[in-house]
Structure 1
């Protein structure tokens, strides 16, 4: 008996409609899983990169600032720093720069200012220090200018936040921590201005705050904003309490935006709460707060307490 050959149509039959739909669904599920893994990995890499940027720019910059702040009052025979100390290491008034100084108060160490900030209702502070190179070696100021050994001029460094935004209308600004250095002679005449834009130290900063460590008593150290310290009345029988240390605080952000729906917008800095400006148009970045306490080596205050021995 002869078997009829299969028809040509039967020999080339493909997938059925149901098989095609099942294949399509499986392909979409696999593609979705792959995309999910890709997005998770991309977000993780972005966060790690952003955190690395913040850590690199902040830690190294903070160390550099600490090294310079420790120099405050170097070369000054007076180690008791107040707002009236001649060439005092922390510049708070014209008296700290010399008898004939006429510098505007907006270039001194201040906190009640209009310094740019991305924090709601809290402007950035400004720190101004002063020192002299009495070492036998060359030194360099915060802008990289050489300080000759034995120079009679005082070096003045101003740390402040400035706006580097390309768009002047945006609510959230692109801010940077900068330092401007200058020279002041013995009488207080500025021979090299420290009022310019200076050099950028940290390229992405939302806030910069400082507190002055004040020797309030023999065994008591109190940290005050510069404006509060300036408001302390001069005792008739002596001097104001001396400034012996400085607390520094910064809120730093990354340069690479995050691929996420939310980012941190509240921070604790130097014991107070700081919230970013409520701006729906701002980009989302990785942010972190940093704090450091610097003891002024050339402003030590030693208090001796005498005790009476009752034994015969």
Structure 2
């Protein structure tokens, strides 16, 4: 009687081919999943930056709004960018450490990046007088008066509710805004800047690893960019500020094992400013820099 079927060798070959095909399919599936996770992380990172920076710049554009002087610089009362107490009107009192902690300056908080040395985060403080009621300041406080000046402080701080995998100090950093207000005092009277300016504020953008500021200034007949630190260090002849340029580096919410994501990326934020991620990172994340320039429309002209 004639018998049909696989020989032992044919069976082994068939099983080997089946294993190869199954392994290839599994590899393609895992690779696709990894790429999908990376793509979703990139999309969420881009969306977060887009919404966060859009919100931030919409408020910075209001700096110096309804001020009777167009000049934005230190020692000018009601100037749209605050560098010290002299930018507050006479009679308005602020925190005892206002100049050192709550004005526009380069903070002592180190970012997650290095350049020629450690790169510290900046803090930007603006003020404006609202044109209408019904809106909100950067921290969500309702604007119910046009007779008050609103002061907004943008800074980097630790997240009070980080994700479980965010265990290091740098992984917990966020960009936040705190806001306070004051009324113009009558002659001989005093007003106090709201203490809400000095609290933790509200989060604008999570997972921020660097926040830097520089200004486009009018230096005689020429214009040039100056970092916030260099500008604040000037003791005399501070040029007039025309626009603000913000540089932010933030990271994705989830870590990745994708080898195409560099362990120590380098970003060129400005023509003369390049930063590299600190070494010894606990996890690999997708990171993206974004630079935004905001023209101070209320600081133009000769009024």
**Stretch deviating more after TM superposition (243-252 or 94-103):** 94-103
Structure 2 residue aligned with 1:210, among 210, 213, 218? Answer: 213
Instruction: Look up the match of 1:308.
Output: none
What's the secondary structure of 1:194's corresponding residue? helix
| 1:155 maps onto 2:150 in alignment | yes
Judge conservation of contact 2:72–2:241 (CA < 8 Å) in 1.
yes
Instruction: Look up the match of 1:127.
Output: 124
Q: What is the CA–CA distance in structure 2 between the aligned matches of 1:229 and 1:149, rounded to whole Å?
A: 33
Q: What is the CA–CA distance in structure 2 between the aligned matches of 1:30 and 1:52, rounded to whole Å?
A: 32
Instruction: Look up the match of 1:297.
Output: 297
Q: What is the CA–CA distance in structure 2 between the aligned matches of 1:172 and 1:262, rounded to whole Å?
A: 22
Q: What is the CA–CA distance in structure 2 between the aligned matches of 1:26 and 1:106, rounded to whole Å?
A: 69
Instruction: Look up the match of 1:230.
Output: 232
Judge conservation of contact 2:175–2:203 (CA < 8 Å) in 1.
yes
Structure 1 residue aligned with 2:140, among 129, 138, 144? Answer: 144
Structure 2 residue aligned with 1:189, among 184, 187, 192? Answer: 192
Judge conservation of contact 2:108–2:121 (CA < 8 Å) in 1.
yes
What's the secondary structure of 1:140's corresponding residue? coil
What's the secondary structure of 1:222's corresponding residue? strand
Larger Rg: 1
More strand by percentage: 2
Structure 2 residue aligned with 1:101, among 77, 93, 111? Answer: 93
Q: 1:93 to 1:203 in 2, by over 3 A?
A: same
Q: 1:126 to 1:188 in 2, by over 3 A?
A: farther
What's the secondary structure of 2:197's corresponding residue? coil
Structure 2 residue aligned with 1:180, among 175, 178, 181? Answer: 178
Q: What residue ranges of structure 1 are gaps of 5+ in the alignment?
A: 1-5, 304-312
What's the secondary structure of 1:180's corresponding residue? strand
Structure 1 residue aligned with 2:47, among 46, 49, 56? Answer: 56
Q: TM-score, normalised by structure 2?
A: 0.86
Give 1:262 shift: 4.8
**Stretch deviating more after TM superposition (18-27 or 258-267):** 258-267
Q: 1:114 to 1:199 in 2, by over 3 A?
A: same
Judge conservation of contact 1:116–1:163 (CA < 8 Å) in 2.
no
CA RMSD of aligned residues (A): 2.3
Structure 1 residue aligned with 2:248, among 233, 247, 250? Answer: 250
Give 1:275 shift: 0.9
Q: Could you list the per-position Cα deviations for residues 167-208 of structure 1 after superposition, in whole angstroms to 9, with x for gaps in the alignment? A: 897364221111111112325621242111111111121111
Instruction: Look up the match of 2:274.
Output: 273
Structure 2 residue aligned with 1:115, among 100, 109, 112? Answer: 109
Q: What is the CA–CA distance in structure 2 between the aligned matches of 1:149 and 1:280, rounded to whole Å?
A: 48
Q: Could you list the per-position Cα deviations for residues 91-110 of structure 1 after superposition, in whole angstroms to 9, with x for gaps in the alignment? A: 11111123343432211111
Q: What is the CA–CA distance in structure 2 between the aligned matches of 1:148 and 1:32, rounded to whole Å?
A: 65
